[in-house]
Amino acid sequence: MQGQQKWIAYWREHNALSVQQVPTALRLAGIPPSRQEWRLWIERLLLWLGVAALAAGLIFFVAANWSGMGRFGKFALAEAAVVLSLVAYASCARFRYGNAALLAASLATGALLALIGQTYQTGADTFELFVVWALLIFPWVLIARLLALWVLWWAILHVAYFFYVNTFWAFWGISFREEENVLAGVVLLDGCALIVWEWIRAQGREWMQSRWVPRLLALATKIAVTMLALFIIFDYRYLPVSELYIALYLIVLAGMYGGYRYKTQDLFMLAGGALSVIVVMTTWLGRVLFENSRDQIASFLLLGLFSMLATAGAAWWLRQLVLEQKDGQPSEIHEEVLP
């Protein structure tokens, strides 16, 4: 339930509005949207769904590897998809809808590279195809300034990374046979991306002001770094770089706390950090208790008490932050501009 509906419901609960007046009040608040807003929404739905469906159709076609069409026919199809998308972008670039054409071109490029890999069996590793895909579409990602396209591009790089570690098992002496090293790579990738994104966003780029992309990056970083910490706690091999990874965990936590508590206040980041600390501390305490004590009942009880108190403490701290943030701030719903 969004802000305006909540306010109307609150006024209704406190008898400032009668039951009969609520539908009119909702209409005045813009719920549901007006006819013109619906028309625009339906238009955009048709555009983006149409583009996604066509791109998915092309990808499925390449994956089907249909023997009824020769290789040149398939290449003509994939290349035509890329070219037509770019022509469509060129003809409507002045509209933000041109971004849909760039998305189509980006996906069609992936299909084309998959077709190359499928047809020629050059011996190229899978990760190379994904890296090339990311490189080829990067100029379009820059031009489009579309958040979803940036997320797609970043997802392609992640897939390339995972294929790389599955193929090569080591990079500059760092072995990927240990899961900790793979996770540390993800933490560094996503963490650096988050820092760069927030720094550029702070320069005032309007299209970057939405919070969902940095939150997604922060979520990926926190999940990876939490899993890294858990691996260190449970891994009895205890690698030479384990202390370094513990330091990495603490640096990520401290960095997120400092950045999102004092610089750009974002409760989502702080709540995730609190959950990570609770999980890691509970796990560490569990390992210490079960290794050093034979009394399982007391150990579980202590662990339960600890996590309960930690959760309650986190809830109290987050609420203090909410109250702190709302003091003196206007109670606004921020208007958002659709692409």
Residues 18-77 that bind other proteins (CB under 8 A): 19, 21-22, 24-26, 28-35, 37-43, 46-47, 49-61, 63-64, 66
Nearer to other proteins, 1 or 199 (CB): 1
What is the SS3 assignment for 275? helix
Nearer to other proteins, 241 or 259 (CB): 259
Q: Which of residues 297-336 bind other proteins (CB under 8 A)?
A: 297, 300-301, 303-304, 307-308, 310-316, 318-319, 322-323, 326, 330-336
Nearer to other proteins, 50 or 139 (CB): 50
In whole angstroms, how far apart are CA 79 and each of 108, 210, 223? Answer: 8, 34, 38
Could you say which of 84, 132, 246, 275 contacts other proteins (CB under 8 A)?
275
DSSP string, 39-89: HHHHHHHHHHHHHHHHHHHHHHHHHHT-TTS-HHHHHHHHHHHHHHHHHHH
**Closest distance of CB 47 from other proteins, Å:** 5
Which listed range, 9-17, 122-130, 135-143, 255-263, lies at the site for other proteins (CB under 8 A)? 9-17
Nearer to other proteins, 64 or 170 (CB): 64
CB-based contact 144:99 (threshold 8 Å): yes
**Closest distance of CB 145 from other proteins, Å:** 17
CB-based contact 273:253 (threshold 8 Å): yes
Q: Which of residues 120-149 bind other proteins (CB under 8 A)?
A: none
Look at residues 172, 180, 175, 179 and name the one whose alpha carbon lies nearest to residue 242.
180
DSSP string, 177-222: TSHHHHHHHHHHHHHHHHHHHHHHHHTT-GGG--SHHHHHHHHHHH
**Closest distance of CB 336 from other proteins, Å:** 6
| Neighbouring residues of 88: CB distance < 8 A, sequence distance ≥ 6 | 98, 101, 104
Could you say which of 126, 229, 296, 328 contacts other proteins (CB under 8 A)?
296
Nearer to other proteins, 24 or 175 (CB): 24
Which listed range, 166-174, 181-189, 226-234, 270-278, lies at the site for other proteins (CB under 8 A)? 270-278
**Closest distance of CB 321 from other proteins, Å:** 9
**Closest distance of CB 73 from other proteins, Å:** 14
Vertex 254 angle, CA 149 and 175, to 5°? 70
Nearer to other proteins, 47 or 132 (CB): 47
Q: Which residue type, as a one-letter code, is found at position 263?
A: K
**Closest distance of CB 171 from other proteins, Å:** 29
Nearer to other proteins, 148 or 241 (CB): 148
Could you say which of 75, 163, 268, 290 contacts other proteins (CB under 8 A)?
268
Nearer to other proteins, 26 or 136 (CB): 26
Look at residues 188, 203, 99 and name the one whose alpha carbon lies nearest to residue 147.
99
Q: How many CB atoms lie within 10 A of CB 246?
A: 15
Nearer to other proteins, 17 or 136 (CB): 17
DSSP string, 2-41: -HHHHHHHHHHHTTSS-GGGHHHHHHHTT-SPPHHHHHHH
Q: Which of residues 82-111 bind other proteins (CB under 8 A)?
A: none
Q: Which of residues 195-234 bind other proteins (CB under 8 A)?
A: 212
| Neighbouring residues of 43: CB distance < 8 A, sequence distance ≥ 6 | none
